[in-house]
């Protein structure tokens, strides 16, 4: 299954190692929605937004999903999950890909809109 990542799971991000042996399918991909800084060191996406969110697409082996779900605080239905896992289409290299993405479950997470739609992991996480 393909995963669209837009924050700390991107290359250079502090949690990129969670992707383990996942294959990079698209170095640059765009999804419809808005990107927000949560104020907690990671972004959150709202797929109902009118903008575009930039990210990467990975083919995730089945064995990695439990750890990624745990990282994203997703249990599959709990009212307290910080993120929900939903299916979306993204555009990459002129193609439309069917992916899943983790999106914010609560409006309170959406603190400050990232107008560029790009979470710059180097600038945000101080990984220069």
User: Would residue 27 show up in a list of annotated catalytic residues for this protein?
Assistant: no
One-letter-per-residue 3-state SS of 67-123: HHHHHCCCCCCCCCCCEEEEEEEEEECCEEEEEEEEEECCHHHCCEECCCCCCCHHH
Q: Kindly report the backbone phi and psi dihedral angles of residue 122, in degrees, each rounded to the nearest multiple of 5, phi listed first.
A: -70, -45
Instruction: Report which DSSP code applies to 39.
Output: S
Q: Which of 21, 25, 56, 72 is catalytic?
A: 72
Which residues are marked as active site?
72
């Amino acid at each position: 299954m393909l995963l669209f990542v837009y924050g700390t799971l991107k290359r250079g991000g502090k949690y990129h190692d969670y992707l383990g042996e996942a294959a990079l399918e698209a170095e640059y991909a765009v999804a419809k929605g808005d990107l927000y800084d949560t104020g907690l060191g990671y972004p959150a996406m709202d797929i109902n937004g009118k903008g575009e969110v930039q990210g990467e697409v990975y083919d995730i082996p089945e064995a990695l999903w439990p750890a990624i779900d745990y990282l994203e605080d997703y249990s599959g239905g709990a009212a307290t999950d910080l993120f929900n896992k939903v299916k979306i289409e993204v555009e990459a290299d002129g193609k439309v890909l069917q992916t899943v993405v983790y999106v914010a479950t609560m409006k309170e997470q959406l603190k400050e809109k990232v107008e560029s739609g790009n979470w710059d992991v180097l600038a945000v996480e101080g990984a220069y």
